[in-house]
Structure 1
Amino acid sequence: MGASTNNNAGAGATRAWLDQAVRRIEADFNRSADTHLIHLPLPRYPGIDLYLKDESSHPTGSLKHRLARSLFLYALCNEWIGPDTTVIEASSGSTAVSEAYFARMLGLRFIAVVPASTAAPKLDAIRFHGGEIHAVDDPRTIYDAAHRLAGETGGHYLDQFTYAERATDWRGNNNIAESIFAQMAQERHPIPAWIVCGAGTGGTSATIGRFIRYQRHASRLCVADPEQSVFHRHFADRGTTLLHEGTGSCIEGIGRPRVEPSFVPSVIDHMIAVADGDSIGAMRALSRRLGRGVGGSTGTNLWACLKLVEAMAARGERGSIVTLLCDGGDRYACTYYRDDWLSARNIAWHAAEATARVALGIPISG
């Protein structure tokens, strides 16, 4: 009888901790205003409106803040995380930054398994939020390393690549798709012709694609993908699931060498493969247009948007396109914004910047 009482007491204490953990995360959400939707006029295309959903304004500075919050809530409500659990994640940086933020909020140890090539500012941000770094030389080994660390510490591997598509409520509940359509309601073309995003885990594209179908919107979903990624190949041929050649893309946060479990190609209408140089050129042009830096994956999104704009204009179509400003440029000051870094990697970006500047109405001489 005594053992049963002790067990019940322990279970009660854990449940009380879980209740408080969920409350803290929900309170953090209530304190954070929704991210802005920025209208970006296109002088050369007066019938087409372009919008940027600015995810850099989250408390941890990127789109991944939404994912990290969902992953923690999912793990908590499944009771995979308790008051003494070490939390592990495999990440190229931004997801780990956001997860470190939530782990510290809950008083939990957090270890990020990252490729050694991850930009230093991202590593600094993980440490700033109390996270620890476990770097691996081969990016393909991050999964196994995360599993191993979880076993060694008795911790929990959040596994964004598996759980991203199921941790977020795609039917609504303030997800990114619901927010986009609510913010577009008073615009000239309130139902976007296209929504454009990238794919790292596949969670964001799955959420947006499912929401579009659930709400029966006419919008189509386009996923912009680095040329060196497997996702666009898998979209074209479901038999392709792994890349064996190439050095991979330099665009952090999107594109993968293997098809991740959270990537759902059936809810995607179109994919555009984007060269790294085009992503960097579009990123540089947009940074000039906004007066502040954006990250490389935002450049990937923008380049795909400009391709869609050209196609719509050629067909005489009018409408709106919404894409994501994924994170700010400060995390890439030592990489994408350094000409010598790009030259050392033979990334040709000047022509793409000139093209994007014309489309955005930025004087080439400026």
Structure 2
Amino acid sequence: MFWLHAAMADHEHAARWAAEAIRRLDAEREHAPPTPLVRFPLPGDWDVTLWFKDESAHPTGNLKHRAARALFRHSVASGRVTEGTSVVEATGGGAALSQAYFARMLGLPYTAVMPGAPDPARAAPVKELGGDCCFVTPPLAVYEEARRLADDTGACYLDQFTWAERTLDWRGDDLAGELFGQLAGPPAWLVVGAGTGATSASLGRHIRSHGLPTRLAVVDPENSAYFPGWVTGAHDYATGMPSRIEGIGRPRMEPGFLPSLVDLMVTVPDAASVAAARAFRAATGCPVGGSTGTNLWGALHLVAAMRERGERGTVVSLVCDAGDRPLRTVHSDGWARDKDLDPAPFAERIDRFLDGGPWE
């Protein structure tokens, strides 16, 4: 009977650890204030308002914070992650920082498998939170390398591209409910990018389940598989090419992206994302990254369409990545030159539009 008592004691210990881990994750969510709305200034006589919900206000400074918390909660609740479990993820940007934050909160070793050549600057924020990074080329190899590393070491492959869409709440307790609760009424358009696909899926489900008149637009940078996959209906579409806009755009259609929830997709040139990120900073004082710039470009596209049709209303998008890091990337002329990007023509287009000119 000794083995039975020992097994029961181990089970009870594991259950207590899981309960405490979930309590910590839930407390972090419950004690966090709502992320604020930032108004992007448009001419007053347009009768269109443009809001951005600032997800960079989270402790990890990016949109992936909520998804990382939800992933860890689901993984603990389902028994994939237990006390001391090493966690491995395939990720290229903000998700690694957010996941490292929650791994440290739960006392778990964490490794991010990132695409590209070794880059100490990209790895540093993760290492500051106690995580580790390894780099892999070509970009599509990150999935198999993360899975192999997890299998070889007995770790949990968190797999945000499969699980984030299923774990991020859409009924009203997280981003979707918080956002719509801050607005005076449903907006005409909601504009988001697609990384894992979880954000667009949760917002789209919320819109559908509540019968809201809001339409969902997804913006997509160069080299990403989402727009061609959405247009052609090929859910296995792949480009195999990396995105220069950190946080959005994928080399393949990820399983978490739900095309049926998307009303419109807008392709955005990478140089336009850079120009729009700089325009956002000039208008609000907030230095945002390329994914927020992509959102702004798509939002202005929809504002222009509403003006042409004589429509009034609100367009809402997200600040995904504000902080010091974009100052070294999209706000740096040297970085843009190294990436072979010329934002000047797109900056002129934005300025001309906001001065009352046409959106060409």
Aligned mate of 2:259, from 265, 272, 275:
265
Is residue 48–residue 314 contact of structure 2 (8 Å, CA) maintained in 1? yes
Q: How far apart in 2 are the matches of 1:131 and 1:360?
A: 43
Q: CA deviation at 1:179?
A: 1.1
Provide the residue aligned with 1:296 in structure 2: 290
Does residue 340 of the first structure (1) align with residue 334 of the second (2)? Answer: yes
Residues 20-79 of structure 1 show CA distances to partners (whole Å, capped at 9, x for unaligned) of 101111122223211001122301653100000000100000010000000000101101
Task: Compute the displacement of 1:150 (Å).
Answer: 0.7
Does 1:215 find its partner at 2:214?
Answer: no
User: Among residues 199, 208, 213, which one is paired with 1:204 in the alignment?
Assistant: 199
CA-CA distance at 1:344 after TM superposition: 2.8
Unaligned runs of 5+ in 2: none
Q: Which moved more, 1:248-257 or 1:203-212?
A: 248-257
Partner residue of 1:229?
224
Moved more, 11-20 or 336-345: 336-345
After superposition, the C-alpha distances for 1:159-190 in whole angstroms (9 at most, x for unaligned) are: 000011101121122x21111110003xxxx2
Partners in 1 of 2:153 and 2:93 — Cα distance? 21
Aligned to 2:99: 99
- Going from structure 1 to structure 2, the CA distance change for 1:361 and 1:183 (only over 3 Å counts) comes to farther
SS at match of 2:195: coil
Output one character per residue of 1:221-279: Cα deviation in whole Å (capped at 9) or x when no partner. 0000113211011111112633347x543101101111101010001100000000110
Mapped partners of 1:105, 1:131: distance in 2: 12
The 1:113–1:248 alpha-carbon spacing in structure 2 relative to 1, beyond 3 Å, is closer
Number of the residue aligned with 1:320: 314
**Alignment-mate amino acid for residue 144 of structure 1:** E
Conservation of the 8 A alpha-carbon contact between 1:194 and 1:219: yes
Take 1:345 and 1:10, find their aligned partners in 2: how far apart are those partners? 53
TM-score (normalizing by structure 2): 0.95
Q: Deviations over 1:203-226 (max 9, x none)?
A: 000000000010110000000011
| 2:28 aligned residue | 28
State how far apart, in whole Å, the 2-side matches of 1:10 and 1:194 are: 51
Give the aligned residue type for 2:300. L
Map of 1:129 onto structure 2: 129
Corresponding position of 2:188: 193
Task: Give the match for residue 157 of structure 1.
Answer: 157
CA contact (8 A) 1:42 1:359 kept: no
Give distance in 1, aligned partners of 2:239 and 2:195.
18
Residue 180 of structure 2: aligned partner? 181
Q: CA deviation at 1:102?
A: 0.4
CA distance in 1, matches of 2:337, 2:317: 28
How many correspondences in the alignment? 356
Give the secondary-structure state (helix, strand or coil) at the position aligned to 2:328: coil
Alpha-carbon contact 2:222-2:269 (below 8 Å) kept: yes
Tell me the CA shift for residue 284 of structure 1: 0.7
Q: Quick check: 191-200 or 340-349, which moved more? A: 340-349
| Distance in 1 (alpha carbons) for counterparts of 2:18 and 2:142 | 29
Unpaired stretches in structure 1, ≥5 consecutive residues: none
Name the counterpart of 1:88.
Answer: 88
User: Counterpart of 1:331?
Assistant: 325
Specify whether residues 250 and 44 from structure 1 end up closer, same or farther in structure 2 by C-alpha distance, changes over 3 A only. Answer: farther
Describe the shift of the 1:244–1:298 C-alpha distance in structure 2 as closer, same or farther (beyond 3 A).
closer
Contact 1:42 1:361 survives alignment (8 Å): no
1:336 CA drift (Å): 1.7
Aligned counterparts of 1:287 and 1:355: Cα–Cα separation in 2: 16
Partner of 2:19: 19
Query: Tell me, what secondary structure is at the counterpart of 2:335?
Result: helix
The alignment-based identity, stated in percent, is 43
Secondary structure at the aligned position of 2:140 is classed as helix
**Structure 2 residue aligned with 1:75:** 75
Partner of 1:250: 244
Q: Does the CA-based 8 Å contact 1:121-1:332 persist in structure 2?
A: no
Task: From the superposition, tell whether residues 265 and 119 of structure 1 become closer, same or farther in structure 2 (CA, over 3 Å).
Answer: farther
> What is the CA-CA distance between 1:332 and the residue it aligns to?
2.8
Q: CA deviation at 1:134?
A: 1.1
CA–CA separation in structure 1 for the residues paired with 2:119 and 2:327: 9
Instruction: Name the CA distance, whole Å, in 2 between partners of 1:15 and 1:249.
Output: 41
| Residue 7, structure 1, aligned to residue 3, structure 2 | no
One-letter amino acid of the counterpart of residue 166, structure 1: R
Q: TM-score, normalised by structure 1?
A: 0.93
Whether the 8 Å contact between 1:70 and 1:167 is mirrored in structure 2 is yes
Deviates more, 1:323-332 or 1:350-359: 350-359
- Aligned-partner Cα distance in 2 for 1:279–1:45: 26
Find the counterpart in structure 2 of residue 40 from structure 1: 40
The 1:172/1:282 distance shift into structure 2, 3 A limit, reads same
AA of the residue aligned to 2:189: W
Mapped to 2, the partners of 1:358 and 1:60 lie a distance apart of: 35
Q: Distance in 2 between matches of 1:180 and 1:81?
A: 30
Matched position secondary structure for 1:89: strand
For residues 354 and 156 of structure 2, what CA distance do their matches in structure 1 show?
A: 45
Contact 2:62 2:94 in 1 (8 A): yes
